[in-house]
Amino acid sequence: MPVRWLDPSPVLRVERFNSFDEFRPNDVIGGMRSTPLDSSPISVSRSILALPDCLLVLQRSFARRMEGDLGANRGVGVVIPLAFHATMNGNAVGDSTIGVIRGRAPVDVVERHANTYLMLRFGSDMRNRGWADFESGIELFRLTPAKMLAIRSAILDMFCLASSCRELREFELLSGQLQETLIAGLDNALVEDSVKRALPGSFDRHRKLVEHLDELVAAVGEADLYSASLAQTLGVSVRTLQTAVQQVCGVSLHQHLRSKRMWSVRKLLVKGGPLLTVTAAAHANGFWHLSDFARCYGRAYGEMPSETLARVRGA
């Protein structure tokens, strides 16, 4: 969906500018001075979405030169291109490159045509995940087409969901898992394979860590499973927890936690309460992308969630 087609909602703010005089910069990752490159009319669309620990700004820009300090005084800034070609400090940057910013960094950016990209700022420092552990400056990560497509698709799905939202409370219940999906996508896209690799002789230690993780998940419930808080409770870094789960279970931490939440949904459906719906069961366990949920459920259990519910009620 093009950015300009997104509609405002109780959780999504939409701004549109049709002239440079109207245009106001967004300082989510730093205040930049803009100078248009030509005199033709501009058309800027900007959608702003707040999640529990990050602010996302999806923008379609215009031909311009930007100068200033990019970044934030606290937290980490990220720029994710959807359709993007520009030069930054004299170097070409294409739409397969994600920029991660810590602290403030002076930049001179030239956009010779309209670009579409996501700017986001995390409130926490995001250290010990394997992709934002440097001290300050800008790190550029060039992604494979498959990884870039996956993270773009997740971003657009989030904004489409926010645009169609009519119940603030319902979105608040899902917002934590939306953020976790975004962070898991960045982990998958930005962490080098060498960082994920377990050290020789670490299997027993990692097996015990995964056992403690599963005990913790069983104690806190499956709905609110967030990698950073789980790692903190277990006294390890997120990167260590990710490596342990990958070595022991053969899947990512995000996939492991998702399977726990999926099993929780199935337990609800098998009970088959008279007022229960598949959507309600999915949302109660943090699944916000319902078609993706149904697809994964079908692969896991050999039947669609609606079939589980119908079968139980028929019996």
Q: Does residue 268 register a pLDDT over 60? A: yes
Whole-model pTM: value is: 0.90
Instruction: Between 196 and 61, name the one with better pLDDT.
Output: 61
CATH no. of 3-164: 2.60.120.10
* 8 A C-beta contact, residue 100 and residue 122: no
Task: Name the strand (E) or helix (H) holding 139.
Answer: strand 137-142
Which among 280, 286, 315 is positioned nearest to 305, based on CA atoms?
280
Give the span between the Cα atoms of 119 and 77, in whole angstroms. 7
Mean pLDDT, range 260-289, rounded to an integer: 91
Please say if the pLDDT value at position 231 is more than 90. Answer: yes
CATH level 2 (architecture), domain 192-315: Orthogonal Bundle (1.10)
Other CB atoms within 10 A of residue 251 CB: 13
Question: Six-digit token pair at 170?
Answer: 């319902």
Q: Which residues contact 105 (CB under 8 A, 6 or more apart)?
A: 69, 70, 71, 136, 137, 138
CB proximity list for 22: less than 8 A, separation 6 or greater: none
Average pLDDT value for the chain: 91
The answer on pLDDT for 208 being more than 70 is yes
Domain ranges of the chain: 3-164, 192-315
- pLDDT tens digits along 40-74: 899 999 999 999 999 999 999 999 999 999 887 78
Q: What is the per-residue pLDDT for 219?
A: 85
* Structure confidence by residue, pLDDT tens digits, 76-135: 999 999 999 999 999 999 999 999 999 999 999 999 999 999 999 999 999 888 898 888
275 versus 118: the higher-pLDDT residue is 118
Mean pLDDT confidence for 237-265: 93
Q: What is the mean pLDDT of residues 292-301?
A: 94
Task: For 37-115, list the strands marked E by DSSP.
Answer: 44-51, 54-60, 64-83, 86-88, 91-93, 97-111
Cα distances from 64 to residues 91, 114, 254, in angstroms, run: 16, 9, 39
